Chain A
Amino acid sequence: MDPIIEGIIRAIDLILTGDPEVLSIAALSLYVSVAGTLLACAWSIPVAVALALRSFHGRRIVKGLFNALIGVPTVALGLYLYLLLSRAGPLGYFQLLYTPYAIIIGQSVLVTPIVVSFATGALESVDSDLRTLARTLGASDIQTYQVVIREAFWGVVLAIVAAFNRAFAELGVAMMLGGNIRNLTRVLTTAISLETARGEIALSIALSFILLSIVMSLSVAINLARKSTR
């Protein structure tokens, strides 16, 4: 049978039968990617607000830097973070390497430029006259920012979704910081890589099918939510 068709059939079978290992891999993937993305948002969205709405010296350079960092190779980032988190590294004391927390940290760093750049773009695209209007109606600086963020809401959501997708689908950071340890740090991408290397093409396709299904379902859900609010 064609390995692709076999893979899809196996994926359906694995999902319908609730294969515990596949479910735990998918759940861990979701957990680390959601946590990594939310962690990144905690600092990236305030940075995006500052870049989009405040004027300060070096603003353009900072924006350019974040734009450039979007394309950073995950393996390179994984290597640097590995050196930081390894026992001999500056953060080795915390013994985070080869734990889900290491993957979360790595993914949050990886997606930071995506959230910052895309959210900044979304906030900058809001009509600047809206800020002026809010001020004429008595809004404070913070209330003016709230107006802009509300206007750019779906643009910011798309930035977060793009960041999640990047975190969910990346391999380098998860492999180098998580180590692909079964039942501990194995996520969908590292599992796909491993099964492919072992010649388990159908299982790899099944896992990739699950990965793609989650990414696409999220995109469809966000689009539906966006349309329903218009």
Chain B
Amino acid sequence: MTPYVETVDITKEYDSIRALDLVSVAAKPRRVTSIVGVNGSGKTTLLKILAGLDTPSSGKVLIQGHEANPSELRAHCTMVFQRSVMFGTTVQSNVTYGLRINKVSSQDAALRVKSALALVNLEGFEKRHARKLSSGEQQRVAMARALALERDVLLVDEPTANLDPANAMIIERAIKESAGSRTVLLSTHNLAQARRLSQHVIHLYRGRVVEEGEPSRFFANPSDERTKLFINGELQF
């Protein structure tokens, strides 16, 4: 299967620090690709480049085999962040915002908002003020907001890092269901989550891909020493 989105030898430098070092990864459609690694390994930087929010110092990003610039990436991808940020309006307005600026008809938008909110168990929350919700509910709104856009690629950065198990379960279910119709890249340091959700796992360490593979092989029989340490909870940055 051809990858939907891939990076080719991407590096990213901030001043003299190299956050990403010749990273080449590929994510196939209708799959969840997890990027795992300790804090500071470059996961968020990689997702931001894929989302068109940052530019690589060198290397390129391809969408369906064609090189894409940040603006084209933003047209294909959307991202959910670890810390959910809400517009100071209602849940409905938050989820509708992206559809409105992308000129989706109000009829279509209403249907998409309804189904996205249903996917994260937020039916009936439409009129609530988004910033007055709990952090778990806000993260679910953020997920619905991204899903309603129906972009080809969903980038999810540590979506359940600060959530209780009930909210985390809803988010995980939404990721799983959404992968049925799009390419999902999930950044997480939660190995159990990566094992549960993904069809492909990539281990990033100090800005480099040190191992990747199917979860069954990746977790049971890692070949890289650093991956073994990471899986055993013994790897430090």
Contact = CB atoms under 8 A, between A and B. Distances in A.
A147 B85 CA distance: 13
B101 interface: yes
Interface residues of B, number: 20
B60 interface: no
A151 interface: yes
Contacts of B78: 136-138
Nearest to A151: B88
Contacts of A127: 85
Given A143-B101, A151-B88, A138 B83 contact: no
A138 B83 CA distance: 19
Given A147-B87, A151-B88, A132 B97 contact: no
A139 B101 CA distance: 7
Nearest to B151: A138
A43 B78 CA distance: 35
Contacts of A135: 52-53, 74
Contact of A138 (B85, B87, B98): B98
A2 interface: no
Given A138-B78, A138-B149, 16 more contacts: A127-B85, A129-B83, A130-B85, A132-B81, A133-B87, A134-B97, A135-B52, A135-B74, A136-B51, A136-B53, A136-B74, A136-B77, A137-B145, A138-B74, A147-B87, A150-B88
Interface string B46-62: 00000111000000000
Interface in A119-150: 127, 129-130, 132-140, 143, 147, 150
A147 B87 CA distance: 8
8 contacts: A132-B81, A133-B87, A137-B145, A138-B74, A138-B98, A138-B102, A151-B87, A151-B88
